[in-house]
Amino acid sequence: MAAIVLLSLLGVPIGQAMIGASILYLWLKGMDMGSAAEQLLNSTYSSYLLLAIPLFILAASFMSSGSVLDRLLRWCNALVGRFPGGLAQVNVLQSVVFASMSGSALADAAGSGKLMQAMMTRDGRYPPAFAAALTAVSAVIGPILPPSIPLVLYALVSGTSIGYLFLAGVLPGLLLGAVQMALIHYLAKRHRFPVEDPVPMRELPGITREALPALMMPVLLLGCLYSGITTPTEAAGVAAAYALLISAFYYRSLGLRDVYQSLQQSARTSVSIGILIAGATVFNFVITSENIPASLSAMMRGLELSPFTFLLLANLLLLVLGAFLEGSTIILVILPVLLPTAVALGVDPVHFGVVAVLNIMIGLVTPPYGLLLFMMTKIADVSLGALVRATLPFLGVMMIALAITTFWPDFVLFLPRLAGYTG
């Protein structure tokens, strides 16, 4: 672990740092250093599920064309713009809608952050720090709702069904959006935030018709998964093909140059995630060789922790780690260590996965080092102090959503059980 920290401080990407530290461990132990390559290749080429990640990223890239984005924002504005804090409500709703396109909090904030910041701060309608804070906290919703790249990674390390994980994330994700919108309503009344001009009801069917093909993406994805027509990876391929077809032929917003740029951008993102997965795979081999998961599980059982106490401690740990580390690293390195203990204590693995991912995502906006906070200071050109102050009320209501998700398992598992989950 010290070698990983040292290499990271020297500027080595975390994936390569884990590989380098693992090779160093094998050398010091006198083990065959080729074991690192063996573990990397075995895990990479034996996991069909890994193919879902670049396909979801490609689908998101196709759907992020300007024309699709504009139509979805118009639809969101038609629904909630007329309520107190109209544009702020639109910001949250667009994060819920765009969840079906990105699956990544950082991608969501980067994709719509500049546009929403410009819209909300025009003519002094909202304070810049408030607009930036709202974009950061609403971006957290994306990776909870399907398709979620963090949940795909958790399925990879835990062996749980990606379909059940996707369903388990729906209610917590919607709850997160609901508590944020409720807080906006309260703040809008208190600070007299502006209300947008209401869209006439006669125009709503037309606006909905224009946005409907994009809105059908999650319906298509979940339909393919739970009807048994496709595997999760094949469903990701269907999603990418659907995104290409509607963006290129229905909305006519995607040309050949755009397709090439989407492929190029998706390849870069997929490679960076792939290197991270490779590094985590080799490092997990080191952790397993040292028998750390089994030792931790035995120690936890010796402490006679209840599931409630374990989940409380796990929440605190993951919130702190989420403020310092990239989420994928935590899922691939830390969760495999915690999962055996969770299962031994009777915590459902699907429930634990959603709780863990929700913790990690909230960590992205937890002061003082949340990655989304640093990203929004650059996008919105606001000070970190002002951004943190504006974020704190949202963190309060998000903690309420986290508590409900953590300590009410039936809330999380309701939809999976309707689909046949027996956990």
Torsional sign, CA 355, 357, 358, 360: positive
pLDDT at 108: 63
Phi, psi of 348 (to 5 degrees): -65, 135
N- to C-terminal Cα distance for the chain? 35
415 exposure class (CB count in 10 Å sphere: 0-12, 13-18, 19+): middle
Question: What is the pLDDT averaged over residues 388-398?
Answer: 92
Question: What is the pLDDT averaged over residues 270-286?
Answer: 70
Does the pLDDT value for residue 65 go beyond 80? no
Integer angstrom CA distances of residue 234 from 49, 52, 55, 215: 9, 8, 9, 20
Contact in structure between 108 and 327 (CB atoms under 8 Å) = no
Question: What is the pLDDT averaged over residues 397-418?
Answer: 94
E-only strand ranges, 261-391? none
Say what the pTM is.
0.76
Conformational region of residue 348, where left means phi above 0, alpha means psi within -120 to 50, and beta covers everything else: beta
- Asked which of 28-37, 83-92, 214-223 is least confident by mean pLDDT, the reply is 28-37
381 exposure class (CB count in 10 Å sphere: 0-12, 13-18, 19+): exposed
Confidence of residue 2 (pLDDT cuts 50, 70, 90): low
Report pLDDT digits (tens) over 306-346.
Answer: 888 889 988 988 888 777 666 777 887 788 888 888 888 88
Geometric angle at alpha carbon 137, from 134 and 139, rounded to 5°: 105
| Residues constituting the chain | 423
Report pLDDT digits (tens) over 13-55.
Answer: 666 777 777 777 777 777 666 665 665 555 555 556 667 777 7
> In this prediction, what percent of the chain has a pLDDT beyond 90?
14
Which of the pair, 103 or 235, is modelled with greater confidence? 235
Residue 46: closest CA among 238, 379, 277: 277
Sequence spans of domains, the chain: 1-46, 49-418
